[in-house]
Amino acid sequence: MGKKILFISFLTMGLTYSQTALYNSGNLRIHQEGQLGFHTNLVNDGPFDENAGLTGFYGTEPITISGALNPVLFDVEIVNDGGVWLETSLGVDNNTNFIAGDIITPRNNPAVHYSFFQNALTIGENNGSKVEGYAMLSGQGDFSFPVGDQAQLRPLAISSNGI
């Protein structure tokens, strides 16, 4: 009897698998005071752009954001030593809190970028947590981009009177 249970246990272990990404094909929204923490990849093929809460990217393994539609988040928190790799652009409306890990965009594709919209600001950028790659600004006059290379923060400041 014990051998049968052991055999069935091993058989069912081989049939189980884990989810490697959150796949959004519907209408995902984070409401005010809401919080969503990602510890896995995000594939965004549905609307995910009218958010009012906090979205965090956590862990030690790299997280990839991909999909047909660009997510736009309200507040973003990065606590992932492996970094957050963008395969599609990601936007922020309010605040990005850089704690640990970079937001990384492909160097060969400037169309994929981290976007700071009209009221966006940053907190905590440092040598170990910044945007490594392309960043975009929309609707602001003065801004300091928290960009750099693998080892060092190299902020890029702009000032515009045309806004």
- Across 57-81, average pLDDT: 98
Dihedral Cα 65, 30, 135, 117, nearest 10 deg: 160
Residue 46 carries which DSSP code? S
- Domain definitions of the chain by residue range: 19-159
**What is the average pLDDT across 84-93?**
98
At 29-46, the pLDDT tens digits run: 999 999 999 999 999 999
Q: Quick one: pLDDT at residue 20?
A: 87
Mean of pLDDT over the chain? 91
Most confident of 1-10, 15-24, 79-88: 79-88
pLDDT tens-digit map of 142-151: 899 999 998 8
Looking at residue 97, its pLDDT comes to: 98
Spatial contact of 116 and 143, defined as CB atoms under 8 Å apart: yes
3-state helix, strand, coil in the chain (%, to 5): 10, 45, 50
Of 81, 54, 61, the closest CA to residue 21 belongs to 61
pLDDT for 110: 96
Q: For residues 64 and 43, is the Cβ–Cβ distance under 8 A? A: no
Mean pLDDT within 62-72: 98
Please state, for a pLDDT cut of 90, what percent of the chain lies above it.
80
Closest-CA residue to 127 (of 157, 100, 90, 106):
100
The reported pLDDT for the residue numbered 160 is: 74
| 102-125 pLDDT tens trace | 999 999 999 999 999 999 999 999
